[in-house]
Structure 1
Amino acid sequence: MTETDLPPRLGALTFHGPLSEARADRLIERLAAGAPSTVLDIGSGWGELLLRVLEAAPGATGVGVDINAEDLARGRVLAKERGLAGRVEFVEESARGTARGPVDAILCLGSSQALCDPDQPHDPAAALRELRRLVTPGGRVVLGEGFWERTPTDEQLAGMWPGARPEDHLPLGGLVDLAIDAGFRPAWIETASREEWEEFESGYRHETEVWLAAHPDHPLAAETRARVDRQRSAWLNGYRGVLGIAYLTLVPVA
């Protein structure tokens, strides 16, 4: 079985999250305005946003940290294609307790769990304290974090990920309050739109759905079909319109 026979993975996505080109441009512009010299991307994946920050801040170097070797390899290829290989490093390691700070700019989009104890429930307050430790005075943090747009019903929770609970996320106001308690001021607060969510969710499965249509009898088809159907159902029958993503640009208090 060759690699081309296998189900594709995430090739239709530019960013691994509900993030539009326009919003990404604005986030990058705000980060680059501070002329950072060091950038850390926690849970970077292939580091698309990290690479764009480095392009917008020519004097900066960056590190992307993740535990997914395939995504990191994709990031290295992208960096080489853009002439950034000498300014960025993609490292396969845990971010918990990382010593890769302090830095001038931090990206942590949908990855705050990487800063927390994996044996305990996700703790955004602990993640925010870690981000505060890792950023230099006058630096910036861009945090992408889930929040409840509205309190989920029991039926919606049952349709989400296994074991989903109301305590899994806070409302937006509670999340921002945690950032302030951790020693930040929220310089910019924005949330992913319905269109961004739909682009991400459909893009997440697009290539795999096309592959399944073309390979219904493939040895991996049944397993892949079940996985994709569960993912789609969790969105459509669970968290669609209930779970939001906030993009917070945070400034550490002196």
Structure 2
Amino acid sequence: MDDELNALRRTGMRWNTPLSEPHAELLLDRMALGEGHLVDLGCGWGELLLRAAARAPGLRVTGVDTDVTGLERGRAAAAERGLTVNFTEADAATWDVPVERAFCIGAAHIFGSTKAALEGLARVVPSGRLLYGDGFWAAPPNPAALEIFGPDTLTLPELLDAAVDAGWRVLHLSTADQLEWDDFESTSKAAWQEWLLVHPADPRAPRVRAWLDERQRQYVRDYRGVLGLAYLVLGR
């Protein structure tokens, strides 16, 4: 897709993860935010990071990502809300400044695997708390789901074991419910669906329609109720 459509696609999303407003507030509560430095590795546009900054004015807040469009959206939102957040374009896996708090949600792939992420993040947060979000198999996957998400996806018990093996204590565990998943999948397609209704004869419309239809088929047939998303607040 071209730059215009790529920039449009996620504009209907509050955050790029299956998460409700009450669930987000719960996670921020469990992070016990105060002073110190909070970094969000793989932040995208950093909506949860912005809310953390609003909660804890004494917190130094940094978001790191390579997605320029997402970073620009985050900077604009921070300016609009009068928040001081440093959105940095960089490979989040190379972050080497120790912090007291960190977020890493849906971004384990930047480290290579879940286990590598949990080990790497232990170096980022030598003492403090990490909000870690990652996919897990909530039910046995079919071959199509395995092909989409890869053989390294863990079950929930395996994910918790990996966290403990990396030196973390699990302070909080919650998982995205079905409504959060359905809303996430719908909002991830919403802006393109609206565009398609207005521009059905656009030369780009067949590609957009095919992408949307395939994504919907994959979700409903292959991984709805099969892939879960766990939110862990981990401490060291």
Fold shared by both chains (TM-score > 0.5):
yes
Q: Which amino acid aligns with 1:125?
A: K
Cα pair 1:12 1:206 within 8 Å, conserved: yes
| Runs of 4+ residues deviating >2 angstroms | 3-8
Identity %: 39
- Alignment CA distance shift 1:6-1:24 (3 Å): closer
Give the structure 2 partner of residue 54 of structure 1.
Answer: 53
Q: Tell me whether 1:134 sits opposite 2:124 in the alignment.
A: yes
Q: Tell me whether 1:70 sits opposite 2:69 in the alignment.
A: yes
Please report how far the alpha carbon of residue 8 of structure 1 lies from its aligned counterpart in structure 2 after TM superposition.
Answer: 2.6
Q: Tell me whether 1:249 sits opposite 2:222 in the alignment.
A: no
Please report how far the alpha carbon of residue 115 of structure 1 lies from its aligned counterpart in structure 2 after TM superposition.
Answer: 2.2
Give the structure 2 partner of residue 110 of structure 1.
Answer: 106
Whole-angstrom distance in 2 between the partners of 1:187 and 1:169: 22
Secondary structure at the residue paired with 1:8? helix
Which one of the candidate residues 158, 165, 175 is aligned to 1:174? 158
Give the structure 1 partner of residue 30 of structure 2.
Answer: 30
- Alignment CA distance shift 1:113-1:36 (3 Å): farther
Q: TM-score under structure 2 normalisation?
A: 0.93
Give the structure 1 partner of residue 82 of structure 2.
Answer: 83
Structure 1, unmatched stretches of 5+, are 117-122
Cα pair 2:53 2:61 within 8 Å, conserved: yes
Give the structure 2 partner of residue 157 of structure 1.
Answer: 145
Bigger CA drift: 231-240 or 195-204? Answer: 231-240
Give the structure 2 partner of residue 124 of structure 1.
Answer: 114
CA deviation vs aligned residue, 1:74-127 (integer Å, no higher than 9, x gap)? 00000001111xx3111111112322x2111111110111123xxxxxx21111
Whole-angstrom distance in 2 between the partners of 1:68 and 1:207: 18
CA deviation vs aligned residue, 1:228-251 (integer Å, no higher than 9, x gap)? 222212111111000000000000
Cα pair 1:7 1:224 within 8 Å, conserved: no
Count residues with an aligned counterpart.
Answer: 234
CA RMSD of aligned residues (A): 1.8
Cα pair 2:39 2:62 within 8 Å, conserved: yes
